[in-house]
Structure 1
Amino acid sequence: MIPPIRALSLAALLVLAGCSVPDLPTGSDGDDRLGVEGGYAATDPLPVRTDDGLNESEREAVLARTMARVEAIRGLEFTRDVEVRVVSRAEYRADRANETAADGGFREQVWEAPFLVGERTTVGRELDAVYGTAVGGYYAGDEIVIVSDTETPTLDTRTLAHELVHALQAQHLGFGSDRRTLDGRFARDGLIEGDANAVEIAYEARCGDEWECLPRSDRANLDEPAFDSDVYLVLIQPYAEGPAFVNALRERGGWVAVNDAYDRMPTTTEQVIHPERYPEESPVEVRVEDRSSDGWARFEREGPESTTLGEATVYAMFRANGVVEGGERFDYSHPLSDGWAGDRLVPYHDGDEAGYVWRTEWDTERDAREFVRGYRDLLAARGATRDGNVYVVPEGDPYADAFRVTREGTTVTVVNAPTRGELDAVHRTE
């Protein structure tokens, strides 16, 4: 069972359940002490009722005390006010629909290559299904937007605490540069969301014995998501693995080490999945020479003509397609993906037809052979017929295409085209 996303801050509790939360200094004396906001300290009770929703003054009190608690856990002081706005689920979905920007066939190939979005749907639909259903809140500018599923506005304080960490990040640390590959974006989010989830987990751990906490919202207690999308496996990786990465940094040097990481963001999901590889182990630069012909060409776009999928997406590919057995626990470390050293995906098109070249580099030849074995198992599970190193997934399957799979030492190259006869046109053999 896949647990739901909570503010896209989800069941990392399953990953780090029971981890200890050290006490932090409460700052110096003064009118604006660390752990005190809007006249409320972290341990203060709140004069609010939740059974009939929260009015404006009650929401302000909840916000102030939650800010104080986030300060007490994270050891950083808010330098400016944070606004909170509550919108309905319908409003959020409408706003998201208006903001969704497609990237044509390029984006479709990026998600089709790891067998996460097939040709019966689109990436936009899959992302909207996840975000539109699961997001409980988000941070934008100096504003936190809470998405409510009821007509009576409510605030889940754990979700609020998560988003308040993003406000602290903006005020003190920054979010790093905009990574231009899929793997780079999820690596950066591993720190950003891992930090916020670690604080959320710490908040949860203090409720009851140390702190009086408001009841959880009904949505926060959902057992499973109201959608079925394989892209979820990739989207949640920063939230599921990020807290362990942040805790590993804290073991090295406390929250100071976490703060310092914002000046040296993780560059790959490999570093987030395996914190011992951060920051020294960098990915191998993988190149894919253009050998296309007969009308096939790379996409012309504002961004790069290629991307990197990364270890997390490789794992998600195998798990989503049944090669790796799943469960309630999200552990992205697996022999089929652990040896990842780098990759490059280059989408191609010829009119409305599309294909790609995906080259992966592995730490050892054994790792490369393991990957090829798993990839062949994936194709076989989809009913592919084999002729040498060429596989054809039959019509009727959402990934009905031809695939050429070759390995040279630690390098594995997958060429995809609509038909076997077009494989060389996408990327001819040497």
Structure 2
Amino acid sequence: MNPTLALSLALVVVLAACAAPVEPGDGIGQDGTTVPDGPVTATSADPDATNGSETPGRDNESAFDPLGWENGYWYNASIDVDQSDGLSAAELDAYVSRAMARIELLRGLEFLEPVGVRVVSRENHRRTVAEWTNVTEAERVWNDQVWEALFVVGEDRDVTEEFAVLFGSNVFGYYDPETGDLVVVTSDANPAIPTGTLVHELVHALQDQHFDLERADLQGATQDQQLAVDGLLEGEANYLMYQYLARCGQWECVGTQASGTADGTRPNDGLLYTVLQPYSDGPVFVDALVQFGGWEAVDARYAAPPAATAQIIDPSAPAPEPVGYTDTARNGWERFDAGKNGTDSAGEASIAVMFWYQARAYGAPVVDDRALFDVSARYDRYNYTTTPSDGWAGDVVVPYRNPAGGEHGYVWQTKWHSVSDAIEFRDAYLSVLAEHRAVQFDGTTWVIEDGPFADAFRVVWDGRTVTVVNGPTVESLDDVRPDLAR
């Protein structure tokens, strides 16, 4: 698997850091998950329209499968489930089946087949993550250049290993489209399954049964597209999870004891908050679709998935503009064959995290690092709008290598909606270079002499375009992108 595609695995995982601190106005679900305050409007047939004390009769049980009934359980059935000592097979069946029935009502879609549940140890899960991140050396180095361009993972770290830590140590569970099973990751001998985790992953199973999560157009051809598609998938899963938990005041919900499902290993914050963007902005995006056109509007986006995180951050944002790129490298410098035909796209969300991370980790005066946690929209958990990333219209990241010298570099070409947007990005980027003690070599060229991002940089502004050329030396910049040479 290509390591950047590990981001697409965000569509089937719930990270431990997904739950934000409790904020004023929030309620708490019975399993401790934060629930946005405010009324919840049913967007399908009202789940509470029938009398919860009655179970409609049926003459032919094999043909009986209405919304709100699954595997013998109505959505409002009382079940005897105590997770304090783990879950028996009967308890798990009741817990999962009733949750499926409730999700059907909230979403207005029928589960087409049962969903299995597997429990795996943290150790076994890490072995699975190792398979997810098993890539060629060329793919590994290619991806290192992409994240180095974002100043998130420097030359002293391997981004594939950093993702292995993120996904290996901070996952509650995930849905596996290959088997159709929900996988619970735990270090407990008798694990409890939080209601929020169960509902979130069951929604992914429902998505898979109706829309096929392994479809090519739901994978995303670039990092930005992957995150954008995840905004739809994770957005719907979190949105329905919030709807479900908010009803726990009306519905009987299963309590959850504390369960040690993550080992507490802290991942790279830049990677973490990039991966979390779909979980945060996605529910707001889905809510906007539902309010505008009901669940039919959400269904329509499966036929035409979002193309950029800019559209998840702001549902009214236009589609990204093409960024024309011509390879002019010389003297042994060449593009990688690995990864998305040798190119990638960072996108607005990753650029926003880039500037936030520079402020948080290095003190760069580019954005207020507290702004990431300053949110006002219902369902939102983190704020991915920053001045230097707002106005993004498109970008392409092109990693390069010089096999003879064992050297690496990249070109990052960005396009903005206005000249002023481009200037704001350029000025913020130059502030990042300054914070890393870059020395100016000439009018467009800077050199970071030491540290994990030590390299030469050329930053060229041209109207709505800002291009960054990177290489190990000033001379290499002329070879990586000759048309921007001194």
TM over 0.5: yes
Partner of 1:181: 222
Displacement of 1:71 = 1.2
* Deviations 1:19-57, CA, capped at 9 Å, x for gaps: 532123169976312111122222222212211111111
Aligned-partner Cα distance in 2 for 1:312–1:220: 31
1:137: which partner in 2? 173
1:42 to 64, 70, 75: 75
Partner SS state of residue 262, structure 1? helix
Query: Residue 424 of structure 1 corresponds to which residue in structure 2?
Result: 478
The letter of the residue matching 2:432 is L
Give the 5 Å matches for 1:3-18.
Answer: 7-8=14-15, 10-11=18-19, 17-18=36-37
Q: What is the root-mean-square deviation of aligned Cα atoms in Å?
A: 2.3
1:359 equivalent to 2:395? Answer no
1:125 paired with 2:161, answer yes
Aligned partner of 1:201 in structure 2 is 242
Structure 2 residue 227 is the aligned partner of structure 1 residue 227: no
Q: In the TM superposition, what is the alpha-carbon distance from 1:58 to its structure 2 partner?
A: 1.1
Q: 1:211 aligns with which of 248, 251, 259?
A: 251
Superposed displacement of residue 219, structure 1: 5.2
CA distance in 1: counterparts of 2:326 and 2:148, whole angstroms: 21
CA 1:231/1:247 → structure 2, altered by over 3 Å: closer, same or farther?
same
How many angstroms apart in 1 are the aligned matches of 2:337 and 2:483? 24
1:7, CA displacement in angstroms? 1.5
Could you say if the C-alpha distance between residues 394 and 19 of structure 1 is closer, same or farther in structure 2, counting changes exceeding 3 Å?
farther
Between stretches 324-333 and 356-365, larger displacement belongs to 324-333
Identity of aligned residues (%): 40
Query: Quick one: structure 1 residues 319 and 198, their matched pair in 2 at CA, closer, same or farther if it must change by over 3 Å?
Result: same
Cα deviation code 1:178-237 (max 9, x no counterpart): 321111111111101100010111122112x21222223525999x87334321121111
Q: Is the 8 A contact 2:146 2:397 kept in 1?
A: yes
The 1:314–1:46 alpha-carbon spacing in structure 2 relative to 1, beyond 3 Å, is same
Amino acid of the residue matched to residue 401 of structure 2?
H
CA distance in 2, matches of 1:219, 1:359: 46
- 1:303-351 deviation per Cα after TM superposition (whole angstroms, max 9, x unaligned): 4121111111110110111132234341111221110000011110012
The 3-state SS of whatever aligns with 2:330 is coil
Q: Equivalent residue for 1:300?
A: 337
Q: Given that residues 145 and 409 in structure 2 are in contact (C-alpha distance below 8 angstroms), is that contact kept between their aligned partners in structure 1? A: yes
AA aligned opposite 2:241: E
* Equivalent residues in 2 for 1:328-407, closer than 5 Å: 328-329=373-374, 330-351=382-403, 352-387=406-441, 388-395=443-450, 397-407=451-461
Contact map agreement 2:186 2:260 (CA 8 A) in 1: no
Residues 23-102 of structure 1: pairs in structure 2 closer than 5 A:
23=42, 24-25=44-45, 31-102=64-135
With 12-21 and 81-90 compared, the bigger mean Cα shift is at 12-21
- Note if contact 1:288-1:346 (Cα within 8 Å) is conserved in structure 2: no
Aligned length: 420
Q: Residues 229-378 of structure 1 correspond to what in structure 2 (within 5 A)? A: 229-277=269-317, 281-301=318-338, 303-322=340-359, 323-327=366-370, 328-329=373-374, 330-351=382-403, 352-378=406-432
Q: TM-score, normalised by structure 2?
A: 0.82
**2:435 & 2:253 partners in 1: Cα distance?**
48
CA displacement at 1:59 relative to structure 2: 1.0
Q: Is the 8 A contact 2:35 2:246 kept in 1?
A: no
CA–CA distance in structure 2, aligned partners of residues 362 and 316 of structure 1: 17
| 8 Å CA contact retained: 1:194, 1:246 | yes
Q: Distance in 2 between matches of 1:263 and 1:393?
A: 46
Q: What residue in structure 1 maps to residue 204 of structure 2?
A: 166
State whether residues 43 and 210 of structure 1, in contact with CA within 8 Å, keep that contact through their aligned partners in structure 2. no
Amino acid at match of 1:324: V
Code of the aligned partner of 2:295: W
Which letter does structure 2 place at the counterpart of 1:128? A
User: Counterpart of 1:110?
Assistant: 146
TM-score normalized by the length of structure 1: 0.92
Structure 2 counterpart of 1:173, which letter?
F
Letter of the 1:376 counterpart: L
- Larger displacement relative to structure 2 (189-198 or 325-334): 325-334
Please say which of residues 413-422 and 95-104 is displaced more in the overlay: 95-104
Corresponding residue SS for 1:121: coil
Deviation at 1:241, TM superposition (A): 0.6
Alpha-carbon shift at residue 16 of structure 1 (Å)? 8.1
Q: Distance in 2 between matches of 1:260 and 1:305?
A: 31
Equivalent residue letter for 1:288: Y
Alpha-carbon distance in structure 1 between the residues aligned to 2:279 and 2:90: 32
In the alignment, the residues of structure 2 paired with residue 219 and residue 334 of structure 1 have an alpha-carbon distance, to the nearest angstrom, of 36
Distance (whole Å) between structure 2 residues aligned to residue 38 and residue 315 of structure 1 = 45
* Counterpart residue identity of residue 233, structure 1: Y
How far apart are the structure 1 equivalents of 2:67 and 2:84?
Answer: 31
Q: 1:123 to 1:221 in 2, by over 3 A?
A: closer
Separation of aligned partners in 2, 1:6 and 1:301: 26
Q: Does the CA-based 8 Å contact 1:37-1:67 persist in structure 2?
A: yes
**Whole-angstrom CA distance in 2 between matches of 1:185 and 1:17:** 26
Aligned residue for 2:31? none
Gaps of 5+ in 1: none
